[in-house]
Amino acid sequence: MPLNAISTENQRPGNPASEWDLGGPASPAIEGFATRMSVNRGTTVHFKINTTSSNYRIDVYRLGYYGGLGARKVTTIQRNTPSPQPAPGGDPAIGLYDAGNWSVTASWAVPADAVSGVYLAKLVRQDGVAGASHIPFVVRADGTEHDLVFQTSDTTWHAYNGWGGANLYGGNAATPNGRAYKVSYNRPIGTRHGVGLAAGPQDYVMSAEYAAIRWLERNGYDVTYLSAVDVGPGNVPLTRYKAFLSTGHDEYWSGDQHAHVQAARDAGVHLVFMSGNEVYWKTRWEPDLNGTPGRTLVCYKETWAGTKIDPSPEWTGTFRDPSFTPPSDGGRPENSLTGTIFQVDSYRYDVIEVPHPMTRLRFWRDTEVALTAPGGTAELVPGLLGYEWDESPNNRFRPPGLVRLSSTPLDVHAYLVDYGLTTAAAHATHHLTLYRAPSGAIVFGAGTVFWAFGLDAEHDETSNGTYPAVTVDRDVQQAMVNLFADMTVQPTTPQADLVVATASTDVTPPTAVITAPVNGATVVQQQKVVVSGTAGDVGGVVAAVEVSTDGGTSWRAAQGTANWSFDWWPHLPGQHTIRVRAVDDSLNVQSPAASVTVTVTPSASVRLFDPSDVPFTLRTAEHAALELGVRFSVNTAGSATGVRFYKNPHVTGSHEAHLWSGDGTLLASAAFTGETASGWQQANFPAPVALSPGATYVASYHNVGFYSADSNYFTSARTGGAVTAPAGDNGVFAYGASAIFPATSFRSTNYWVDVVFARAGGAGNLPPVAGNDSGFTTNQGTAIVIPAAALLANDTDPNGYPLSVTGADNPVNGTVTWSAAAQAVTFTPGAGFSGLATFRYTITNGHNAPVSATVSVSVLAAAVRQTLFKPTDTPAIAGFDDPHPVNLGVKFRCTSPGAKAKGVRFYKAPQNGGTHAARLWTANGVLLASATFSGETASGWQEATFPTPVDLTTDTTYVASYHTTAGNYAVTGNFFANAVTRGALVAPSSGSSDGNGVFAYGPSPAFPNSSYNATNYWVDVVVDAPSPLLRTLFEAGDTPEIVTVADTGPVQLGTKFRTSATDATAVGLRFYKGPQNTGTHTGHLWTASGVLLASATFSGETASGWQQVVFGTPVPLAADTTYVASYHTNAPYSATGNFFGADHVKGTLTGLSSAGSGGNGVFTYGPAGSFPSSSFNATNYWVDVVVRSS
């Protein structure tokens, strides 16, 4: 491509950072600012400088790449007149310090042919007094057209700038926390070096913005530059450009800035948000003390104040906060524009993960990410997910057609739980996102401040200072090349190691179909309906599937792509049309959408809110005893049977439900029992309370602080059909240490309290509900037989009629037959097929029309490549200073039958030269295979392939090794203190294997059998292995009725089980953990008579949910023989009464009925080694076994 102004400019000689950058903090002995944040070329930029020096200079530099030097000097201005300036003006009471009263001391006439960019005026004293500082400004190129327009995040630079005494976070103002309500652009900027509360380099141009500038200009992209002032009150037209860029910490946006960028998107301008915590605080502009517009940034942070304190009617809280709107103009969550929304506060240094099949999306083409094997997860370089980051919630503000390009779930310490005031520990998931607006504009959301760190290594880090520097990631560079190509933007001087991409030519939309429910099906009001189906694409990959249940007004993302599902709770009776459409990785959207129409019949029991209804403000900061409630009325005869409330994870203690008449008479009470850690809780009254149609009642619960609350919720009524919460003066509360009638309302706030109402006479003869089933697995080419009981386990009938299967049809990727005689379905995968297959089954209750649901079957491929370590795994020391010839190895075993060892890998340092030989050994030193490494790179992972693959015996120890003549090998000490498991491969711990991480000095071949300090020498084996067939009694989604049983005595809890497989091996145990089940847990496997077969201690436990441990040595199981799986705890456990009233069958595993096994759900109080043999009420204590079998 021909050179443009940027690529031509960057061919000019640059200047080193040692010349143009500051060696430390800016000096107060010489400081200043430009009178405009940006100037057009051909005009003049004026500087106001404060110094007593009579000999100083101003060196003006333009930031760019310049062969890696980072800037080029464009001029020098010498000054020989001191310019001491007066104290700044302003309004210290609100933290406003405005140095606009300073005099102009120097100017630079910007040449008419100057190249647009970010410029630094470096002020340098030359009188023998040390001192230097920077003045940043932007040079525009008005009236010109370019591919990219780079908006600087100058509003954030100034928001954090504490020069004078205050910034928008704190200081010496006469306000809460001393924070400023207004900050002036007429100030030297001290943000980079921590001048101001919370300020640091991450809030300034030399962080992510500088990294992006360097990379864009290195690659010769046609980019021009604007300040945030230009995009906001300056209203510089954005439609001249193909794409708009927001980069780094772009936290503060004015309302007009938001409007102009959104208008550009709607006119077809692409948006690229290489930023995080973006578009968060809503600001407005005022003139400075001289009357110059656009020089005072105003943000009262009304979300923090909790009330309207800005005298302007404009809202200056967070964009997402709907408080006082209308008449204010808040309530616009940022994900409606950017695709992501800020949730995780500073300081984070996390790793972005891309699980397969997201790795197949065209965004990742020509990257290492794209090479990820099925079931694997790619990782980008550490630190890109920081220092603050966003989520991409599946809420009503989600842009239609949005696709997620990555998925990183993490537990975090500071998660935003309301509109912008409170953070707390929580689980968060980050996604890179992409969507196409109706105008055709593509919008990319990185959702992380440090995304641009993957583009270039030269940048400031954070003020935290505890994390290592973030390195360049070629995958990020290539992904951005790909993204820009799809925006028809190309580099003119691309890096040699990047692939110049082309725009997508795929214009064929994907196709999604609905397999359940079927058209014309009948479902029950407020009972879960699993909408499911399949999707495919020609010329690309299905990137997302979205569902609308409101006639296409709004769309929500489904789970999965090729095979997808969506949980729907139809809230009101009547006919409903479900629409589904797929989106491919070129952002083509299916049109028209697939649809089915279902009839929703009235339920006998209704409520105001469904399980899918959750608060936006998850947790308030208030910690006081109070009663929270909702006013409601009913339109038909019936009874209140209970009260529900939404509980966030920070709500603790006991709770009591209350039902009141409209005048405050207490009608019923009930204690909440068996509460879960979070989510909807329900307490049932001892007896139903008859309600009169039309009368007002209040349902409430008593709580101590940290409740959920969403203001302005009841600006419209909420109805569940027979029960309605009226609009207006609703959402009620009262303070008190015990039950008290809640009669006060504030801003129509929903405190997420609900009532359960049972219609008189019930709802009549209702149809059964068929649920989709999953978790069935078979091998490629192998039929699977599924008993009718297994299919019916997930189905319900509201009338209580018995259910039966009547047929199976509509197979995808195979064939299916139903045998009434055998009461079983047989599914046979298609020839050569592996992956997810489905079929439909039909049930009846004998009274209503049959209904159907979908069954998913995982068909495992014959073999997949597996290694102990990922391509991104690296050693602590790449080249250990030991120059001697040595054989280095790792002990491993494979848990999958039919596996073959194909080769050996090792991690190479640049000093580890010479020829390297790979070896595979038995555990006692018999050489099985050899190979020589060829085509090695200078460093990183190397691989050698054996001439003939070697068959591996399941669960047998082998040694993979390599020989080096140069030494300088990779090491990580104490790595094998614990076992390493990845897929079917296990590297045993050093303690359990007589030493792992093995070596032998000398020539090759020599069997490595010595070990030291459990050291990993970064040797790996390459295995082709069938995916292991691991079976359990319970699926990941199975949960107990009572998560926390208040019993703290030391107890052993267990499950009796059998397997029908003749080749079964127990490889580990699972148990369901409630949040209060803390401490150490030990799992045991026993014979039915109490002989201990294996034990293991659980490690790496999560706070709650299913926990799993792997035995050091798998235990063979005899078919049709009873065993006991158990674990020991000293804390409250989980339970479901009468669960084992019948056999619980899951594939080849059976949890035995209590009556048929002498009692199941077993326990014994005492120490960890006690055999559990007592039982009570056929209770399931949620203990499971992990079995490998065919």
**Is the model's pLDDT at 981 over the cut of 90?**
no
Per the prediction, the chain carries an average pLDDT of: 92
pLDDT band at 461 (very low <50, low <70, confident <90, very high): confident
Q: Please name which of 390, 151, 102, 438 lies closest in space to residue 268, comparing C-alpha atoms.
A: 438
Residues constituting the chain = 1190
Query: Which region among 509-513, 847-851, 946-950 has the lowest average model confidence (pLDDT)?
Result: 847-851
Backbone dihedral region for residue 655 (phi beyond 0: left; psi -120 to 50: alpha; all else: beta): beta
Tell me which DSSP letter residue 178 carries: G
**Is the model's pLDDT at 1087 over the cut of 90?**
yes
Tell me which DSSP letter residue 153 carries: -
The rounded distance, in Å, linking the Cα atoms of 166 and 337 is 31
- For the record, the structure tokens of 760 come out as 């008189």
**Is the model's pLDDT at 743 over the cut of 70?**
yes
pLDDT band at 684 (very low <50, low <70, confident <90, very high): very high
pLDDT at 398: 95
The rounded distance, in Å, linking the Cα atoms of 630 and 723 is 12
Ordered DSSP codes for 859-897: EE-S-EEEESS-TT---SBSS-S--S-EEEEEEEEE-ST
pLDDT at 1036: 67
**Is the model's pLDDT at 704 over the cut of 90?**
no
Q: Please count the CA atoms within 13 angstroms of the CA of 1007 that sit on its side-chain side.
A: 13
pLDDT at 800: 45
Q: CB-based burial of residue 432 (10 Å sphere; 0-12 exposed, 13-18 middle, 19+ buried)?
A: buried
pLDDT at 885: 94
Sign of the CA dihedral running 955, 870, 386, 431: negative
Most confident segment among 331-340, 703-712, 1100-1109 = 331-340
pLDDT band at 1102 (very low <50, low <70, confident <90, very high): low
Question: DSSP H helical segments within 268-421, as ranges?
Answer: 302-305, 335-338
Helix (H) or strand (E) run with residue 207 in it: none
Tell me which DSSP letter residue 319 carries: T
- For the record, the structure tokens of 978 come out as 């614990």
Residues 1157-1174: tens digit of each pLDDT: 999 999 999 988 899 999
Residues 194-213: tens digit of each pLDDT: 999 999 999 999 999 999 99
**Is the model's pLDDT at 423 over the cut of 60?**
yes
Asked if residue 632 lies in contact with residue 723, where contact means CB atoms within 8 angstroms, the answer is yes
Mean pLDDT of 1075-1089: 92
Sign of the CA dihedral running 582, 588, 589, 592: negative
Q: Which domains does the chain have, with CATH numbers?
A: 5-305 (2.60.40.10), 511-601 (2.60.40.650), 606-759 (2.60.120), 779-792+799-850 (no CATH), 864-1025 (2.60.120.820), 1030-1188 (2.60.120)
**Is the model's pLDDT at 259 over the cut of 90?**
yes
The rounded distance, in Å, linking the Cα atoms of 963 and 967 is 9
Mean pLDDT of 967-989: 90
Asked if residue 681 lies in contact with residue 655, where contact means CB atoms within 8 angstroms, the answer is yes
pLDDT at 865: 87
**Is the model's pLDDT at 778 over the cut of 90?**
no
The rounded distance, in Å, linking the Cα atoms of 120 and 133 is 10
pLDDT at 326: 83
Most confident segment among 431-445, 1035-1049, 1129-1143 = 431-445
Sign of the CA dihedral running 704, 710, 715, 718: negative
Residues 921-943: tens digit of each pLDDT: 999 999 999 999 999 999 999 99
Residues 43-78: tens digit of each pLDDT: 999 999 999 999 999 999 999 999 999 999 999 999
Residues 593-612: tens digit of each pLDDT: 999 999 888 888 999 999 98
pLDDT band at 1147 (very low <50, low <70, confident <90, very high): low
Query: φ and ψ at 10, to 5 degrees?
Result: -80, -5
Express as a percent the part of the chain with pLDDT over 90. 76
Residue type, 226: L
Asked if residue 978 lies in contact with residue 963, where contact means CB atoms within 8 angstroms, the answer is no
Q: Please name which of 837, 828, 860, 819 lies closest in space to residue 515, comparing C-alpha atoms.
A: 837
Global model pTM greater than 0.85: no
Q: Please name which of 833, 831, 854 lies closest in space to residue 842, comparing C-alpha atoms.
A: 854
Most confident segment among 267-271, 547-551, 733-737, 798-802 = 267-271
The rounded distance, in Å, linking the Cα atoms of 1146 and 1059 is 10
Q: CB-based burial of residue 912 (10 Å sphere; 0-12 exposed, 13-18 middle, 19+ buried)?
A: buried
**Is the model's pLDDT at 484 over the cut of 90?**
yes
CA 435-610-1073 angle, to 5 degrees, is: 90
Mean pLDDT of 781-809: 83
pLDDT at 864: 78
pLDDT band at 1146 (very low <50, low <70, confident <90, very high): confident
Mean pLDDT of 752-773: 78
Sign of the CA dihedral running 359, 360, 364, 369: positive
Q: Which is it for strands 241-249 and 146-151: parallel, antiparallel or unpaired? A: parallel
Asked if residue 157 lies in contact with residue 34, where contact means CB atoms within 8 angstroms, the answer is no
Question: DSSP H helical segments within 282-431, as ranges?
Answer: 302-305, 335-338
Q: Which distant-in-sequence residues (6+ apart) come within 8 Å of 419 by Cβ?
A: 303, 317, 318, 320, 321, 322, 323, 616, 617
Q: Please name which of 19, 424, 495 lies closest in space to residue 218, comparing C-alpha atoms.
A: 495
**Is the model's pLDDT at 486 over the cut of 80?**
yes
pLDDT band at 641 (very low <50, low <70, confident <90, very high): very high
Residue type, 1082: T
pLDDT at 859: 75
Mean pLDDT of 825-844: 85
Name beta bridge partners: 1025: 864
First to last CA, the chain: 58
pLDDT at 1169: 86
**Is the model's pLDDT at 798 over the cut of 70?**
no
The rounded distance, in Å, linking the Cα atoms of 226 and 234 is 10
Distance of CA 9 to the CA centre of its chain: 40
The rounded distance, in Å, linking the Cα atoms of 233 and 541 is 42
- For the record, the structure tokens of 994 come out as 């007589």
Q: Please name which of 926, 929, 969 lies closest in space to residue 950, comparing C-alpha atoms.
A: 929
